[in-house]
């Protein structure tokens, strides 16, 4: 989601000022320390009088967000699906390379997308490349050379692995002449990075 606000937060009998960030699957609060609250850990959630009240098994945290409190509550209570986060709309043409979880492919089908496995569609709006190791990045250059104008490439890779890192993925995209523009949490174990052709190319 990428939303952030400077505010005060209260927990454990103290009030601290810092930066609150609303991410795709967690709230992060940066101050002298770092507080992270995964959505999955939230037991109670409410917003009133400019305060977002978040209760987990470790206790209550109150964020003084002003008029953003209710908006954040709504986004936390009703998070976007992974397909929505990636920007894929109903009926669009999608090309898929590498290994992606069958659940994701099923969601594309439910979205009534035309999905082509292992080949580039001339009118593809999105291309997905699932990679588990650096070796999987060998496909990036060939994919980039065939991307239709205006299409986006999402590279999906494991979180927290040494076999492939964010730097590896970004480097492969840039070497292929693409520009990295967005990152989202694809799943609990994977991250997705979005690449597009720079303006004037493709």
pTM of the model: 0.69
Residues 106 and 145 in one domain: yes
Q: How confident is the model at residue 202 (pLDDT cuts 50, 70, 90)?
A: very low
Beta strands 26-30 and 14-22, pairing class: antiparallel
- The structural domain count of the chain equals 2
Domain limits at 176?
82-196
Average pLDDT over residues 24-47: 91
Q: Give the residue from 15, 11, 25 showing the smallest Cα distance to 53.
A: 11
Q: Using CA of residue 131, residue 132, residue 136, residue 141, what is the dihedral sign?
A: positive
Q: How far is CA 121 from CA 75, 168, 171, 194, 199, in A?
A: 34, 26, 25, 18, 21
Q: Where residue 173 sits, what CATH number does that domain have?
A: 3.40.50.150
Residues 13 and 90 in one domain: no
Would 186 be classed as within a structural domain? yes
Q: Using CA of residue 18, residue 28, residue 34, residue 58, what is the dihedral sign?
A: positive
Distance (Å, rounded) from C-alpha 188 to C-alpha 166?
16
The domain boundary residue, chosen from 21, 50, 77: 77
Would 201 be classed as within a structural domain? no
Distance (Å, rounded) from C-alpha 12 to C-alpha 21?
20
Residues 90 and 190 in one domain: yes
pLDDT single digits (tens) 100-118: 988 999 999 988 999 999 9
Would 157 be classed as within a structural domain? yes
Give the start-end residues of each E strand in the chain.
3-11, 14-22, 26-30, 34-38, 44-48, 51-56, 59-64, 93-98, 114-117, 126-130, 152-158, 179-185, 190-196
Using DSSP, state whether 150 is helix, strand or coil.
Answer: coil
The domain boundary residue, chosen from 77, 96, 126: 77
Residues 59 and 96 in one domain: no
User: CB within 8 A of 148, min separation 6: which ones?
Assistant: 120, 121, 122, 123, 124, 202
pLDDT at 2 over 60: no
pLDDT at 188 over 80: no
Residues 73 and 87 in one domain: no
């Amino acid at each position: 989601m990428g939303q952030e606000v400077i505010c005060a937060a209260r927990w454990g009998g103290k009030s601290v000022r810092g930066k609150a960030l609303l991410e795709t699957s967690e709230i992060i609060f940066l101050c002298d320390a770092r507080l992270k609250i995964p959505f999955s850990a939230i037991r109670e959630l409410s917003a009133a009088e400019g305060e977002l009240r978040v209760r987990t098994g470790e206790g209550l945290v109150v964020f003084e967000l002003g008029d953003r409190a209710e908006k954040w509550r709504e986004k936390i209570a009703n998070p976007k699906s992974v397909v929505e986060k990636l920007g894929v709309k109903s009926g669009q043409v999608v090309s898929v390379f590498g290994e992606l979880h069958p659940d994701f492919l099923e969601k594309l089908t439910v979205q009534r997308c035309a999905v082509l496995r292992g080949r580039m569609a001339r009118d593809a709006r999105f291309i997905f490349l699932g990679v588990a190791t650096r070796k999987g990045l060998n496909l990036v250059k060939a994919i980039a050379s065939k991307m239709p104008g205006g299409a986006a490439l999402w590279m999906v890779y494991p979180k927290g692995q040494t076999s492939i890192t964010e730097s590896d993925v970004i480097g492969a995209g840039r070497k292929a002449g693409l520009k990295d523009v967005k990152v989202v949490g694809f799943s609990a174990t994977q991250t997705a990075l979005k690449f597009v052709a720079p303006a004037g190319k493709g």
